[in-house]
Amino acid sequence: MPTERELAATIDHAILKPELTRADVDAELDIAAEWGVFSVCVRPSDIPHAVERLAGTGVAVGTVIGFPHGTTSTAAKVAETRQAIADGAAEVDMVVNIAALRSGFDDVVVADIRAVVDAADGHVTKVILETALLDDEQIERGSRLTEAGGAHFVKTSTGFAGGGATVPHVELMRRTVGADVQVKASGGVRSYADALAMIDAGATRLGTSGSAVILGEARRVDAGAGATGAVDDTSY
């Protein structure tokens, strides 16, 4: 069972809702710093501010590419990725071309992924499949194509498509990809129990806006008090 610190090292704290004001973003950045999560995942326009505010905290800044639908052109995703890296992003989470994946256009999907991986120039790249919109065959194939495209992670969800991570989907993704590709579970990870279930299923990174609740529960467990509570994590 992971300690609070070990669990914090798996969390990408999501700050992605379109309606968030600068004050809202700052409050979330401060939460991330307070709890010592691995990273924040912010809207692309928030990268420079997040990098500045989190300087010296040890919390990395990541962002999203082609978010949330994945239907922007490859050229647009490449430009967005290059700008994100130039602005200070350490990691990028790109949304797969969902329509191409569902259509069976595997060459298109791989080329799209590879272009973003190349544009990221060695920075960690995660590929969001949006599992709520896919059947098991498409999830398995999308995971294989993610690996073929050279990405570092295959990821379940944006949290904006009416569904999030499930244990069976995380297990399927973990079985499908090799040891060099990690799995990120995002969307619906609301509690300490949810986090443990995703890690047990094979996830090594968790996307959630409920970091304080999850890590607060972990702290109580570390102290022998047990875990209770959940958060409405509809944003990621």
Per the annotation, the verdict on 93 as an active-site residue is yes
Query: What CA–CA distance (Å, rounded) separates 212 from 90?
Result: 22
Does the pLDDT at position 183 exceed 80? yes
Q: Identify whether 77 is a catalytic site residue.
A: no
pLDDT tens-digit readout, 28-40: 999 999 999 999 9
CA 91 to chain centre: 10
pLDDT of residue 1: 87
Its pTM stands at 0.94
Q: What share of the chain is helix, strand, coil (3-state, %, to 5)?
A: 45, 15, 35
pLDDT at residue 142, rounded to an integer: 98
pLDDT of residue 227: 53
Burial letters 50-64, b for 16+ CB under 10 A, else e = bbebbeeeebbbbbb
Query: Known catalytic residue: 17?
Result: no
Contact 191, 230 (CB under 8 A): yes
Burial of 45 (0-12, 13-18, 19+ CB in 10 A): exposed
The catalytic residue among 77, 112, 155, 233 is 155
pLDDT for 210 equals 96
Count H helices, E strands: the chain? 10, 8
List 12, 112, 184, 233, catalytic entry: 184
Q: What is the rounded distance in angstroms from the CA atom of residue 102 to the CA atom of residue 211?
A: 32
Per-residue pLDDT reduced to its tens digit, 102-150? 999 999 999 999 999 999 999 999 999 999 999 999 999 999 999 999 9
Question: Residue 228: its pLDDT value, please?
Answer: 55
Total residue count of the chain as it appears in this document: 236
Domains of the chain: residue spans and CATH: 4-222 (3.20.20.70)
Q: Of residues 12, 93, 112, 233, which has the active-site annotation?
A: 93
Task: Give all strands (DSSP E) within the chain, no chain letters.
Answer: 11-15, 39-42, 60-65, 91-95, 124-128, 153-155, 182-186, 205-208
230: pLDDT strictly greater than 50? no
